[in-house]
Amino acid sequence: MTDAEKRGVSSAVAPGRPGSTMYPNSPLGEDVAGIPTGRDVEWEPLVDYRRNGVSENTIHGAVAWAHGNEVIHSFGGNVLCYGRSMMKPFMLKSFSQELADITTWEQKAISVASHNGDTEHVAAAQSLLNKSEWPLMMTPLDVPLIQFGRQVRRPRRWYNTCSGEHAAILKGCREKGWSRVGYTLPSHQTFQSFLSVLRKTLGEDWQALRVGKDGCGLPTVANTVNELARLCSSLVREKDDDWIWEAMCRHPDLVGGFNRLDSTIIKAGEGRVIAKEGADGLLGMAIQHPSYPKGLGIVVKIAHGWNGQATWYVARAILGTLGIQLRNPYPLNRQKAFIVPGVVPNELLDVLETVPTWDEWDPDRDRWTYDWQPYASDPHAIRIPPNYSPKE
């Protein structure tokens, strides 16, 4: 008896055929050997928001630092998660040679982007393909990620945040002579080549524990945050092997867009850093730094998913200890943000204390600045302002 039959739910798919059973089997989730869930991980606080010294929100997550192929700092557990869009630079390494001489720097940058869907993003993505090839693209219909004013646009594939990557993959497949039918499937050469790229850093024996379908339809691989940090470190060592680093540094606003964290980090790094956000709370940074000659890779994973402001505070703190000035996000409303020391290695704690999470011009709005306590003893007292003199 199928799961659907056990529940008394009929299925349109014949028994024994793919899709005939219900998924998942339990609202409590399933325990699978070797696949730890978020309940099994010892998440750590990364940043907390306080109102006059009392915590009101605490953002948990995990942070991993890798120098070369060695993990030098881990905080919040070696979480297993999907790399999502953070992995686009590695996906495009499969096509770096084929696209090197036939694409502009704008086209190269949009190919590794998770863009906002602005006019310049759509134009760069569309330019990768001939108009007759546009129907081959399989990104879901979408609207721009960040919009101003009333929404009057209809959903289009080009507005999807991954349209540049899809267009570049289609162009790369054509150059390699690969079929473009089924390019989003894990059985296609595109995904198999992507796995080979990962194994160059993680080892030839590395195997993906899980492969899921990303929001754009492409396969995404489950990696631990330690593995992701090692992969980011490899981007530093390989920065001159292909065009990916230079393209992201030349056109950071195509990588994300207006007020996006990864775009802002790349601009702040002035050629020393590339950064890439991934859906549901991921940020990967590859940093060229004299104290880390083998390349520094740092990955931040937010436990509850995407939180641009919290991730921004953590990134500012981390980069600040490395001498890279990232501006604060826009100020909080009647709260202050405070960083947990564990986001950096112990030897950088003294520097971390010098990186404020506020700006000098931030208004002090989370408390009253006068001494109100004398009035508390007599709640019925008439409040007479100081220096008050009644008119005659």
Q: Which two tokens stand for residue 184?
A: 């989003």
Q: What is the pLDDT of residue 382?
A: 58
Assigned domain for 372 exists? no
Q: What is the pLDDT of residue 145?
A: 83
Measured over the CA atoms of residue 129, residue 131, residue 137 and residue 142, the dihedral's sign is positive
**Model confidence pLDDT, tens digit, residues 216-237:** 999 999 999 999 999 999 999 9
For residue 339, give every residue at least 6 positions away whose Cβ sits within 8 Å of its Cβ, in sequence order, or none. Answer: 46, 47, 313, 314, 317, 352, 355, 357
Residue 58: phi and psi, rounded to 5, are -125, 125
Query: What CA–CA distance (Å, rounded) separates 329 from 308?
Result: 9
Assigned domain for 180 exists? yes
pLDDT > 70: what percent of the chain?
A: 91
Q: What is the pLDDT of residue 392?
A: 47
User: How many domains does the structure of the chain reveal?
Assistant: 1
Return the DSSP state at 385.
Answer: P
Average confidence score pLDDT of the chain:
91
Question: Exposed (0-12), middle (13-18) or buried (19+): which is 102, by Cβ within 10 Å?
Answer: exposed
**pLDDT score of 310 more than 50:** yes
CA dihedral 360→349→288→303, nearest 10 degrees, is -80
Q: What is the pLDDT of residue 3?
A: 52
Q: What is the pLDDT of residue 148?
A: 61
Assigned domain for 221 exists? yes
Pairing of strands 219-224, 211-213: antiparallel
Q: Which two tokens stand for residue 120?
A: 């310049």
Q: What is the pLDDT of residue 155?
A: 92
Confidence of residue 32 (pLDDT cuts 50, 70, 90): confident
Distance of CA 146 to the CA centre of its chain: 16
Q: What is the pLDDT of residue 27?
A: 84
Return the DSSP state at 331.
Answer: P
Write down the number of H helices and E strands in the chain.
Answer: 13, 10
Assigned domain for 43 exists? no
pTM given for the model:
0.91
Least confident range from 6-20, 91-105, 122-136, 257-271: namely 6-20
CATH at residue 316: 3.40.710
Query: What CA–CA distance (Å, rounded) separates 109 from 348?
Result: 33
Q: What is the mean pLDDT of residues 90-105?
A: 97
Assigned domain for 383 exists? no
Assigned domain for 272 exists? yes
**pLDDT score of 38 more than 80:** yes
* Tokens 């310049």 belong to residue: 120
**pLDDT score of 2 more than 60:** no
Assigned domain for 76 exists? yes
SS3 content of the chain, % helix, strand, coil (to 5): 35, 20, 45
Least confident range from 77-86, 144-153, 189-198: namely 144-153
Domain enclosing residue 160, as ranges: 57-352
Assigned domain for 390 exists? no
